[in-house]
Structure 1
Amino acid sequence: MARTPIRKVSTLNVLVTGGAGFIGANLCRELASRPSVGKVVALDDLSTGFADNLTGVDAELVQGSILDADLLDGLVSGADAVVHLAARPSVPRSLADPVASHHVNATGTVNVLEACRRARIPVVAASSSSVYGAVPALPKHEDLPTRPLSPYAASKLATEAYVLAYGASFDLPVLAFRFFNVYGPLQPAGHAYAAVIPAFVDALLRGRPVRIFGDGLQTRDFTYVGTVVKVLADAVLRKVTCPGPVNLAFGTRVPVTDLSQQLADIVGVPADIRYEAARAGDVRHSQAADGLLRSLFPDVAQVPLARGLAETVGWFRTLPEYAAAPAGWPLPVEVG
């Protein structure tokens, strides 16, 4: 059967699944700022995203689920590219309900890919560094085996595998990124599944203990969301594809205890650290090899961790619940 050719347009209409979430809303803002982007549509069921994240962004929010195949078909038919970020995040959340993580992250991804296959629309999708799991080698390069340690990691490996399989099977233009500990403005705190940086900032600004699970010597490769969304936008606009996964991180490696001290210094308070038992499914060390990323995106510029953390704390201080806390006042994260 002859395939319908990919449409060629002067401006791109982009559908972002998970578009009201932390990364998704930042991406919608970045896309809307690009002259070569026409319409931006954010699809989100608002289970972990927030409509307020898109305030002031020239993007249309459609509340709905990637499990709704008919809705996806309608939205994809009006798009020229899809960035698939919708997922049920968090290792602990997947341990509490593995089936729900599978449905959203694996089955939902197949729904997105089927809609894109029918419409012949390119897909950029988010996988996770968690797929490396128990593999001890550092830095993590894309040719390493994968050994997921949690249902979440397994579901993201399924996401990635389906995306790449659709590229190979149906000649669909695809690109699958492995995200490494993305942080920055709009990342929520104040809930049981909060990621490490917002959890730490929340604790420090409220004068509460910083909870570290394990000995604190576990390391992470943190990537500022502003850098991530620039890469995603460039991938869409330049129609970058790759037959294998691509790490989206820069090879930094920071112990969690050091991270807590850096944040305490920025907030201006001492860190009252409380060590707790290590959590099931947590990876010991994470560090990306970035050679493939830099070959595909030679102009990418990494935001240094110190600057990214300062901008993140600054954003937290704009929120009503933290705005009353002057610098240096122990008013304040649970480690993810």
Structure 2
Amino acid sequence: MRYDGAARQIGDEGSEPFGWRTERLAQNAFEVAMTARQHHYVPQCYLKGFVSNREKPRLFAVDFKERRIFSPNPKNVAAERDFHTIDVEGRPPDALENAFSGFETELDQALKRIISARSIKNENDRALIFNLIGLMATKNPRLRENFRAAHERTAKMMMDLAAATPEGWAYQVRRAKEDGFLPADADADYEKMREFLNRDDFRIETETSMHLQMELQTFDKILPLIFSRRWMLFRTPPNAPGFITSDHPMCIMWSDPARRGIYPTGLGLRNTQLLFPISNELAIIGSFEIDDGDEVDADESLIAQINGNIILHSMTQVYGRDGNFPYMMNHHTKVMRGAGLLEDRLWEGP
């Protein structure tokens, strides 16, 4: 199957949309009764592609925030409590999480086939990878915090305007009581409200359901931009230290390194590269300007450069098969090793 101008749904050959849309996610979820609470924003089946033993999976993990190296099971990283929990009448709270599990069952088999074949030429398997990229591009803690912070700034500005004068505040309170948003005996003291706002020691949260609604809508919009790119596959030598991944493995960057870090980029812009590690042995780059289907046997220097970009796009953690993985960034004159990543001067202050 291939993208033909609108987001399509993975499944039987035919005319269903590729993307795992909200309706199908909710419908599939009725089949599972138990409520899951620990939800992965990076699937476990994907992370297992970066372990040395899938039966007893362990990752080499580096946490930049906590400045530690550890060896977790994939089930214990890239997850948050209730990350996919919904609050919709007539739906169980874990409806979406269970539906994502259905997608991940198909994804797991596709990843195994891709890794075994060392190829992304199978269109169905390729489509599943593209859906995975789209989900991780739109559904991650960093984007959620950006959205929450923007929502908080707007809400605080509106609250400040509402309480700009005693008369304006009295009007807002009266309207809120009349419309049933405040009880009739609610404290409407203006000075207390001004003091509360001036302290600015409160945080405004965004409901998970609102995040999910925004994310799934965005997913449907960006999926065609992923399918329309042309893709190049990078392969490591057999049994060599290979690619790493992270808690945010979807890396979008300018093709010209001189533009990186200066101008904002986006999935729909030309002259950009979308880098995504598939496993320890495979990584792909998608662009609008390259030939589709090219395959490159990567040497250590190229693997190191790809890993360097994955590190730079991570949130707080990177994951590899072991500490021997190579990486290189602009300030390096030679290939570095993952075991020394926390000592890299990249993490030094100004």
Normalized against structure 2, the TM-score is what? 0.26
Larger-Rg structure = 2
Normalized against structure 1, the TM-score is what? 0.27
